[in-house]
Copies of this chain bind each other. A is one copy, B any other.
Amino acid sequence: MGRSADYSKQKCALAGALDIVGEPWTLLILRDSFRGITRFEQWQESLGLARNVLASRLKSLVRDGVLETRVYCERPRRHEYVLTQKGYDLRPALLHLMDWGIKHVYGEESPDAELIHSCGHRVAPQTHCAHCSGELLPYDITLRRIPEARAVGELRLVAEAL
């Protein structure tokens, strides 16, 4: 499978997410999806990635239901890759990682890139609870764990058997 880390014994939703999108390059492939890239050659140009690595990542993302293929030319038959709802739902996580990169890697003082909201200001994402609208602060959240939860590797076996 070309996976570079074995999270299969972890019983954890974050590990489950990383098992699908934690592979090197995968989140950058999805970043490009959100920017409107849908075709193999466009990713190649954007990422400068070896064809076999790119093909393998796209195949995994389709298998895991994050991207889906769509035929855009019948003769010769060609397809492109578009985000599913599952893929689309990764957007807040990517937004926050990008915001962190702008703030802490590129530096807030001399921004090399900025996310601009339609209100005209730099995006400063804040995370709220959709139920009570309160800001989500660290000690306001508890993780309710279920002891008999399945491990990531078991989930993967179930998914592959479908």
Contact = CB atoms under 8 A, between A and B. Distances in A.
Chain A contact residues, majority secondary structure: mixed
A95 interface: yes
Interface residues of A, number: 82
Given A124-B129, A125-B127, A143 B7 contact: no
A97 B18 contact: yes
A25 interface: yes
Q: Assembly of this chain: how many copies?
A: 2
A142 B5 CA distance: 34
B24 A98 contact: no
23 contacts: A4-B4, A10-B47, A13-B98, A13-B113, A14-B31, A16-B101, A21-B97, A22-B24, A35-B143, A90-B100, A92-B96, A92-B136, A96-B96, A106-B149, A111-B146, A114-B144, A115-B142, A117-B131, A117-B140, A123-B141, A125-B128, A125-B129, A126-B127
Given A9-B48, A92-B136, 7 more contacts: A14-B31, A16-B101, A17-B101, A17-B105, A90-B100, A115-B141, A116-B143
